Amino acid sequence: MHKKYLFSLSAFMLTLLITLGLASAASSPGGSQEILSLTSHWVGYIGIVVFVVAYAFVMMEEVTHMRKSKPVMLAAGIIWGMIGLIYAMNGITGVAEVAIRHNILEYAELFLFLLVAMTFINAMEERLVFETLRVKLVNAGFGFRKLFWITGLLAFFISPIADNLTTALLMCAVVMAIGKENNKFILLACINIVVAANAGGAFSPFGDITTLMVWQKGIVQFQEFLVLFIPSVVNWLVPAAIMHFAVPNLQPEASTEQIELKRGALIIIGLFLWTIATAVSFHNFLHLPPMVGMMAGLSLLKIFGYYLNKTHKQNAATYDPQKAEERIGQIVPFDVFTKVARAEWDTLLFFYGIILCVGGLGFMGYLGLVSQFMYLDLGPTTANILVGVLSAIVDNIPVMFAVLTMMPDMSHGQWLLVTLTAGVGGSMLSIGSAAGVALMGQARGKYTFFGHLKWAPAIALGYAASIWVHFLVNGKLI
The reply to whether 298 falls in a domain is yes
Confidence of residue 322 (pLDDT cuts 50, 70, 90): very low
The yes-or-no verdict on residue 190 having pLDDT over 60 is yes
Strand, helix or coil for residue 452: helix
Of 161-165, 197-201, 244-248, 279-283, give the lowest mean pLDDT range. Answer: 161-165
Tell which wins on pLDDT, 56 or 467: 467
The yes-or-no verdict on residue 194 having pLDDT over 90 is yes
For 116, residues 6+ apart whose C-beta sits below 8 A from its C-beta are 275, 291, 294, 295, 297, 298
Of 62-71, 137-146, 329-338, 419-428, give the lowest mean pLDDT range. Answer: 329-338
The pLDDT of residue 332 is 55
For 110, residues 6+ apart whose C-beta sits below 8 A from its C-beta are 209, 212, 213, 216, 291, 351, 355
The pLDDT of residue 464 is 96
Mean pLDDT of all residues in 123-141 = 83
The reply to whether 466 falls in a domain is no
Tell which wins on pLDDT, 95 or 13: 95
Tell which wins on pLDDT, 230 or 115: 230
State how far the Cα of 49 lies from the Cα of 54, in Å rounded to an integer: 9
Angle at 121 between CA 326 and CA 192, to 5 degrees: 100
Mean pLDDT of all residues in 246-256 = 81
Of 2-6, 375-379, 403-407, give the lowest mean pLDDT range. Answer: 2-6
In terms of residue numbers, what domain contains 301? 108-200+255-341
The reply to whether 315 falls in a domain is yes
Q: In degrees rounded to 5, what are phi and psi of residue 298? A: -60, -35
The yes-or-no verdict on residue 478 having pLDDT over 80 is no
The reply to whether 170 falls in a domain is yes
Q: Give 214-217 contacts, CB < 8 A, sequence gap 24+.
A: 214/400, 214/404, 214/415, 214/419, 215/283, 215/290, 216/109, 216/110, 216/113, 216/283, 216/289, 216/290, 216/291, 217/404
Q: Please count the other Cβ atoms lying within 10 Å of the Cβ belonging to residue 83.
A: 23
Of 34-43, 232-241, 264-273, 277-286, give the lowest mean pLDDT range. Answer: 34-43
Angle at 174 between CA 169 and CA 178, to 5 degrees: 145
Helices (H), 245-379: 265-284, 290-311, 336-341, 345-364, 366-371
Percent of residues, the chain, with pLDDT higher than 90: 38
The pLDDT of residue 334 is 65
Confidence of residue 313 (pLDDT cuts 50, 70, 90): low
The reply to whether 451 falls in a domain is no
Percent of residues, the chain, with pLDDT higher than 70: 87
The pLDDT of residue 469 is 96
Crossing angle for the helix pair 183-201 and 456-473, to the nearest 10 degrees: 20
- 47-104, pLDDT tens digit by residue? 999 999 998 888 787 678 888 889 999 999 999 999 999 999 988 888 899 999 999 9
What value does the mean pLDDT of the chain take? 83
Q: What is the domain count for the chain?
A: 1
State how far the Cα of 322 lies from the Cα of 445, in Å rounded to an integer: 34
The reply to whether 80 falls in a domain is no
Confidence of residue 137 (pLDDT cuts 50, 70, 90): confident
